[in-house]
Amino acid sequence: MPKKTEKKSTFNPTEHVYVPKHEIVSDKEKEEVVRKYNASPDQFPQILVSDPVVREIGAKPGDLIKVTRTSQTAGESIFYRFVVVD
Amino acid sequence: MAFEESVKAVGGIKFAVFSPSEVRKYSVVEVTAPETYDEDGMPVQGGLMDNRLGTLEPGQKCGTCGNTAARCPGHFGHVELAESVLHIAFVNNVNKLLLATCRACGRLTLSEEELDKYRAKLKEQNVFTPNLAEDIAKEIIAKAKKVKTCPHCDKVQYTIELTKPTIFHEITEDGGATRLLPVAIRERLERISDEDLNLLRYDPESARPEWFVLQVLPVPPVAVRPSITLESGIRSEDDLTHKIVDILRVNQRVRESKESGTPPLIVQDLVDLLQYHATTYFDNEVSGIPQAHHRSGRPLKTLSQRLKGKEGRFRGSLSGKRVDFSSRTVISPDPSLDIAEVGIPFEVAKKLTVSEKVSSWNMDKLKQMIINGPSEHPGANYIVRPDGVKIRLDYVSDRKTVADSLTPGFIVERHLIDGDIAIFNRQPSLHRMSVMAHYIRVLPYRTFRLHPAVCPPYNADFDGDEMNLHIPQSEEARAEALTLMRVQDQILSPRYGGPIIGAIRDFLTSAYLLTKEDTLLTKSMFTDLALSAKYKGPLPEPVVKEPEELYSGRQLFSLCMPKDFNYIMTSKWIQSQRRSEKDVVIKNGELISGVIDRAAIGAEEADSILHRIAKDYGHEQARHFLNSTLSMLKAYITRKGFSYGFDELELSDKARASITEELDKAYAQVKDLIAQYEAGTLPLTRGLSPEDILESLIVTELSRARDRAGRIADRNFPLNNAGVIMARTGARGSSLNIGQMTAALGQQSVRGERIHKGYHNRALSHYKPDDKSPASKGFVRSNYRDGLSPTEFFFHAMGGREGLVDTAVRTQQSGYMQRRLVNALEHIKVEYDLTVRDPDGNIIQFLYGEDGVDPAKSDHGKAVNVQRLVDTAAIFGTETKEKVDVEAVLKKYKGDLPPKLYETLKESFDASSLPKASVAKVVENTLDLLVKATVEPGEASGIVAAQSIGEPGTQMTLRTFHFAGVKEQDVTLGLPRLIELVDARKQPATPTMNVYLDKEHRASKESALEVAREILFTKVGNVVDYTAVEYGTGINLVLSKARIDERKTTTEDIAAIVKTGKRTVEVTGENTITVNLEGADLSALFALRNKLLNMRVKGIPGITRITVTKEDEEWFIQTSGSNLAKIIQIPGVDTARITTNNLFEIATTLGIEAARQALVNEIMGTLEEQGLEVDVRHIFLVADLMTSRGYIQQIGRHGIAGSKASVLARAAFEITVPTLADAAIRGEIEALKGVTENVIVGLPIPLGTGMIDVFMEG
C-alpha cells in the first residue's frame, strides 16, 4: 500500500489532454464574475473539493475556479465553477 | 358572465398534510351510512351520495352551495373512524421516526450536545455545501437508530420492526414482540418536538407526524367519483365510492363490536380489516396485501392509480390536454400545392371555424357567409352579438335577416377559407418540425393533402398515415404561428443547421433527367414548363437554333434560381462514381454544368443549392425556389414518364457468369477455411477461440463476395437504367438494393451472427449437424429477381423477422430516452445575457453553445460561412497583387470576434488575394452575420437539444455489437450506447480503453506488447494447462509453456505468487508446481485449487483482453475492460492521452471537466458512427447539464429530472405518489417557474414568447 501513494504523486491530471486549464480566481475577480452574471454563488456550476484537479491546484470550498476550455465552436471558452463539499 | 367576478391567477401551490381538525373543518357532512341511494332512487342523507357533497345531475341543486352541477365545485365530507389507521403513503416515514425517537419522551435519541452541533452546522450551512441538510437528516436517523438508551430520559430503547405494509412490532429485550397499534404510534409521534422534526427536514407546520395516523377520513365530493346510469336504468358506482362503502361498513362493525364488548382479538381482526380497506383506498397496488377487486373481478382503480402512470391524472389529464377546433384524417400527397399549404376537405372546412370580428371592411363578406349558413361552403356556423349572446346559425330559419342585423362589433364564427392559418402535426412529435403552420387550401375529397417535400420533417408517408390539424383561435395565436411556425421558416433544421425540407423521390429523378448533359427541350415544351414554374420574364437564347429552336434542361432549371446566385458543388451523381470534382457550377443564376440531384436540392442535405438560397436569400425566397422548381420538375417527369420494371433488372449472361464465379470462389475459400480449422492450422489470434476466428473469417469472406457480386451487377447496368438513376441521384434505393435484386442477397443474420439456431447443432434439418458451409448458415446466393430457394427463403424470413422486432423495440427505447431527455431539459432557456439557465437561475452555460450561436441560424454548424463571403467578394472585387496586411485590418475587430472565427477569417484572407477594401467589407459582413446567427433570449435551447438528440435515436440501429474489422473486440454502439451515456451508468456494457504509449514504446509492436503484457490481467488459471489433485501429494499445477511465454512470466514467478500462508509449494517439474496443504482433505484441496487458479499473477484487474493496433504511425493498446486509475501507474503509458469509455473513471481520476469533455466526445462519436448529424452545441448543453453539480448526473429520475425544484414536474415525470407525499412532509411550495408545472395549471409557459410580460409604471 505505501507503494501506491508514492506512485500516485507522479501522476498529474492537469497534463491530460481532456483536462482544460483550471485556475483559482482572485477574490476581487470572483466578486466581479458573480456580479457580472447577476447570480448568487449557489447558482453557479460546481466542482467537488475531491475533484483530482481541484486537489492538484489546491482549491478550497468557496473558491471560484476559472476553466479555460478549448472549444470546438468558439476556439476558446471560459467556464466557472464554485468549489463545493461533496 | 358571473365567472369574471373574481379573476385570480395561481401564484403557487403549497403541499401539506391535512390534520384531523382540518378535515372536519372542511367537511360539510359526516358520512355514516354505507348506502348510496334509497329505494326511490333518492340519495341517502349522511350517505355517500348526499346532495351536500355536490350534485351530478344537471337539474339538481347542490345541498351546500345551491349551485347546479355545472357551477358547483363539490364539497368534501368526512368519516369518523372508529379506530385509528395508518396512512399508507407515510408508513416509511412513521417507521423512521419511531426508530429515531425515544419511546418514552419522544426526543431524538441523540444527546442535546450532538443535536446542537447539527443545528449549528445547519445554521451556518453555506452555499458551498449543497447537500448538507439532506445528509444531516440521514446521518441523524442512522445514528439514532442504533442508540440503546435515551440520553434525555435514560429509558431503554427497543427495536421497531415493520412488517410490510402496515404492522409495527416492538422487539423487547427478551426477544418478545409487542404489537404497536396505530393509536400507540400516534401517541408517540405526538411527543416528537417541532425542533427535532426540523432537523429531520420535516415541516411541522405543514405535516405533524401524528397526522400520518388517520382518525378521520375525508370523503371526496361526488364530482370526483361520479356514478353512471346505464341504459337499463341500473346505476353503477365509481370505484372510489365502492371503496368508501367498504370502509364505512367495516367502520360500523368495529364501532358496534367495540360497544358490545366483543373479545379484543376479534375487534383487532376487524381493525386490521379497516386498515386494509383504508390502505387499498389510497393505493391498490401495495405489495404484501391482496388487491381489492370489483364484483366483476377487475382490480379497483383507487386514488394512487388515478394519479399514476401514462393514463393517470398527471400525465394523461393535466399534461395532456384535449382541445377543440381540431381535426384528424388520412393524408395524401399533392405536388400541386404550395409547400406551405395544407389541403383540407370541405367537410372539415365547414366544421372548423375562426372567429372574425365584424368591421366595415369585412361586413359584406361576412354577411354573405351568414347567408350561406352552416352547410354551404364559405359560410358561418355561429355569430356572437356584441352583448355576448351566441346564436347558432343551424337554428336560424331566416339567415338573411340575421345578416342584415350585422353591425361592427359582432363576431362571426366563419368557415375556414383558403389562406387561413392552420397548425398541422404528425405524431410522434419528435422535434419541432413535427408541428408546423400551413396555409389552408379547401379542396374536395376527404383527406388532408400535403406537399411531398414536407414529408421528411413529419416523417410522413401515405400508406395510411393520419395527421392532426388545429385552428388557432386568437389573434395572438395566429400571429405566433405565422411568425414562428410556418413551413418556410422551418426549412433549416436546428439539429444540424441545414435544410430538412426539400426535393424527394421523383422530384430528384426528374431533376437529373432534366439537367443531364443531353436533355434538350423544344420551345413549346420549354415555355410550358417555365409556365408551370410560374416563371415570368424573358426567354433565354436557345442553345440550338437550327433546324429547330431547342433549349437545354439546364436553362430551364436556371429560370428558378436568383439572378445573382453563384455556387459550385459536387453532385450526388458524381459522388456515386467516387469522384469529387465540383461538377455543379452556377454562375449568375445560370446552371453552367453539372446535374441537379439530391446533393443540390434534396431534403436533409446540407451545403446544397437549396441550403445556400435559404441562407443567403431568406426563407421566403427558399420557399419560392422550392415551389417553382418542384412544380416544374413534377410537370417534366409527368410528361416524360419514368418507370422501373422487371426487364431492367436483367443482367447480361457474362455478368451472371462472373457473379456465379465470384460466389463459387468464395464458397471454395470458405471450404478451405473450414478445412484449415478442422486440421487445426487456422492462424490463432490473441484471445479468440478457433471457432470464433473461423466464424469471423467466413463472415468477412462472404460479405466481400456479396459486395463483389453486387459491384459486378452495378457495373453491368448502363447509367440510363432507371434503378441506377434512382440510386445514384439519391431519389430512392441504393446500389446495395440493386445488388440484392440482381446479384445475390448475401448473408442473413440473427443477432449479428450467421444463423445457427433451430435444430440441434444446425439451423435447418436440410443440413448435416455442425455443417459450417455458407448455405447451411443462411447465406443466400440467389437474388430477388430469380427468386430464393425454400431454405434461403426461410433464412430470409428469419432475418426479416428480427428486423421487425428490432424496429418495435427500438421505437420504445428511443421514445423513453426522448421523454427523459425532454423532461430533464425542458425548462432550460437562454437568458438575456446569453447564459443558459434553469428557471431557478442556476447557470448551466455561461454562453450558449460556447459561441452564442443558434444552430438553427448557423450555417451548417458554423457561425458564419467565411469562405462563401470571400468567394463572393472575389467575384465582384478586383484582385490585387500587393499583400494586404490582414492582421492590421482584423485587429480592430478582435474583441468582437470569437477566436475561432478570427482564425478562420485570417486563413481565408491569407489564401485569397482580396484588396484591402474587400477584406474590410468581408469582416463587416461577418460581424453582421454573426449577430444574425446569435441566439435569441428566451430560446428553449434545452428542448431543442433534447429533440435534436432524441429524434435521431429512432433512426439508430439496435445492434449492440459491431465487428470492427476481423478480430477486434465488440463494443456497444448505436442506441444502447447512447442510452448508456445519458443514463450515466457506473459501468458501461463493454468497457474499453485506448492506452497510448510514451515515445519509447509507441514505435514498434514489440515495445507496445511489452507494456501490454504488464496491463493484461493474468491469473494463475490463464497459464495453467491442466491440474491434478491427489490426496497426499496435493495439487499439481501443470503450466502451459506457450502461455507462460506469451504472458512473459516464469514457473518460478508463479510458484512465488502461489506461496502464501501455510501451503507448501514446490517446483516439481519444468512446468509443474506442486502445492500441498498440511492435513487437508480432498474437498479442501479442491477448494484450494480453485482459489489458486484465481490468484493474480500480473497485470491490472478488469483488463480481460488486449489488442495492439497501429494508427497514424504509432502503436497503441486497445483493451477490453477498463481501469484508468491503475493503468496510469504503469510505466510506458502516455498518461496525457490515455482514454476510457468509462466516464466515472474519468471523473474520479481526471476530474469533472475531463468527464464533460469525454461525455461530449462519446455522444458525438456514437452519433457520428451511425451517420447522424447533430450540432455539437446540443451535446455541449446536455454534457454541461449532466456535469453542472460537479459529478455526473443521470438524465432520468435519479438524476436531473429527479432533482428538479418543481414538485409537479417531478410528480408528472415518474414516481408520482411518493413525490407528492414527500413534498407534503417538507411543506414544499410549487413556485410554477418551469414548463410542466405551468402546463398543468394552465398558465403560459415561461419560454420564448411566453416569458414576455408587460410592466406598467404607476
Q: Domain boundaries in chain A?
A: 2-84
Report the phi/psi class of residue B680: left, alpha or beta, with left for phi > 0 and alpha for psi in -120 to 50: left
* Closest-approach residue (CA) in chain B for A52: B1151
- Please indicate if any CB of chain B lies within 8 Å of the CB of A68: no
pLDDT at residue B71 above 80?
yes
Distance set, CA B39 to CA A80, B304, B754 (Å): 75, 33, 73
Residues in chain B, overall count: 1258
Rounded to 5 degrees, φ, ψ at B468 are -110, 150
CA B269 to chain centroid: 50
Q: Looking at this predicted complex, what is its ipTM?
A: 0.92
What residues of A are in contact with residue B933 (Cβ under 8 Å)? Answer: none
How many angstroms separate the CA atoms of B1200 and B842, rounded?
Answer: 13
Domain B326-490 annotated CATH 3.30.450.30 = no
- Please indicate if any CB of chain B lies within 8 Å of the CB of A73: yes
Considering only CB atoms, B1190 lies closest to which of A40, A51, A79, namely A51
Mean pLDDT of chain B: 87
Split at pLDDT 50, 70, 90, the class of B687 is low
What residues of A are in contact with residue B853 (Cβ under 8 Å)? Answer: 73
- Please indicate if any CB of chain B lies within 8 Å of the CB of A61: yes
SS3 A23: strand
Nearest to B185 by CA among B149, B213, B216: B213
Structural contact between residues B986 and B995, judged by C-beta atoms closer than 8 angstroms: no
Q: Min CA distance, B998 vs chain A (Å)?
A: 13
How many angstroms separate the CA atoms of B1246 and B445, rounded?
Answer: 41
What residues of B are in contact with residue A6 (Cβ under 8 Å)? Answer: none
- Please indicate if any CB of chain B lies within 8 Å of the CB of A48: yes
Neighbours of B66 (CB within 10 A): 10
Domain A2-84 annotated CATH 3.40.30.10 = no
Q: Which of A9-23, B384-398, B587-601 has the lowest mean pLDDT?
A: A9-23
- Interchain CB distance below 8 Å, A52 and B1150: yes
Nearest to B1164 by CA among B1177, B1145, B1146: B1177
Q: Which CATH number fits domain B1018-1098: 3.40.1190.10, 3.30.1360.140, 3.40.50.300, 3.40.720.10?
A: 3.30.1360.140
Beta pairing, strands B1024-1030 & B1034-1039: antiparallel
Q: Give the CATH architecture of domain B646-787.
A: Orthogonal Bundle (1.10)
What residues of A are in contact with residue B1101 (Cβ under 8 Å)? Answer: none
Considering only CB atoms, A48 lies closest to which of B841, B1135, B1190, namely B1190
The burial class, CB within 10 Å (0-12 / 13-18 / 19+), for B939 is buried
B31-75+220-307: CATH topology: DNA Excision Repair, Uvrb; Chain A (4.10.860)
More confident residue, B111 or B915: B111
More confident residue, B543 or B689: B543
Split at pLDDT 50, 70, 90, the class of B1097 is confident
Max avg pLDDT among B199-203, B337-341, B955-959: B337-341
Residue B336 pLDDT: 94
- Interchain CB distance below 8 Å, A16 and B853: no
What residues of B are in contact with residue A58 (Cβ under 8 Å)? Answer: none
C-alpha grid cell for residue B354? 375562426
pLDDT at residue A8 above 50?
no
Structural contact between residues B34 and B277, judged by C-beta atoms closer than 8 angstroms: no
Split at pLDDT 50, 70, 90, the class of B915 is confident
How many angstroms separate the CA atoms of B670 and B673, rounded?
Answer: 5
Residues contacting residue B520 through CB under 8 Å, at least 6 positions apart? B543, B544, B550, B551, B552, B553
Split at pLDDT 50, 70, 90, the class of B1208 is very high
Q: Min CA distance, B850 vs chain A (Å)?
A: 6
More confident residue, B969 or B536: B536
pLDDT at residue B918 above 90?
no
More confident residue, B780 or B907: B780
How many angstroms separate the CA atoms of B553 and B593, rounded?
Answer: 11
- Superfamily of segment(s) B498-637: RNA polymerase Rpb1, domain 3 (1.10.274.100)
Considering only CB atoms, B843 lies closest to which of A22, A44, A69, namely A44
pLDDT at residue B807 above 90?
no
Residue B968 pLDDT: 54
What residues of B are in contact with residue A67 (Cβ under 8 Å)? Answer: 1153
Long-range contacts formed by B868-871: CB under 8 A, 24+ apart = B868/B612, B868/B616, B869/B922, B869/B925, B869/B926, B869/B929, B870/B908, B870/B909, B870/B912, B870/B914, B870/B922, B871/B566
Q: Which of A3, A73, A79 to mutate to test the interface with B (most CBs of B within 10 A)?
A: A73
Q: Min CA distance, A15 vs chain B (Å)?
A: 6
How much is the average pLDDT of B340-357? Answer: 94
Residue B6 pLDDT: 67
pLDDT, tens only, A47-58: 999 999 999 899
Residue B340 pLDDT: 94
How much is the average pLDDT of B536-552? Answer: 90
What residues of B are in contact with residue A53 (Cβ under 8 Å)? Answer: 1150-1151, 1153-1154
SS3 B1130: coil
Query: Where are the domains positioned within chain B?
Result: 31-75+220-307, 89-210, 326-490, 498-637, 646-787, 858-932, 1018-1098
pLDDT, tens only, B986-1002: 888 888 888 888 888 88
Split at pLDDT 50, 70, 90, the class of B967 is very low
- Interchain CB distance below 8 Å, A51 and B1152: yes
pLDDT, tens only, B814-857: 999 999 999 999 999 999 999 999 999 999 999 999 989 999 99
C-alpha grid cell for residue B785? 429477381
pLDDT, tens only, B623-652: 999 999 999 999 999 999 999 999 999 989
Q: Which of A58-72, B15-29, B784-798, B913-927 has the lowest mean pLDDT?
A: B913-927
* Closest-approach residue (CA) in chain B for A69: B1153
Considering only CB atoms, A75 lies closest to which of B833, B900, B1136, namely B900
pTM: 0.90
How much is the average pLDDT of B1215-1229? Answer: 91
- Interchain CB distance below 8 Å, B128 and A61: yes
Q: Min CA distance, B1053 vs chain A (Å)?
A: 20
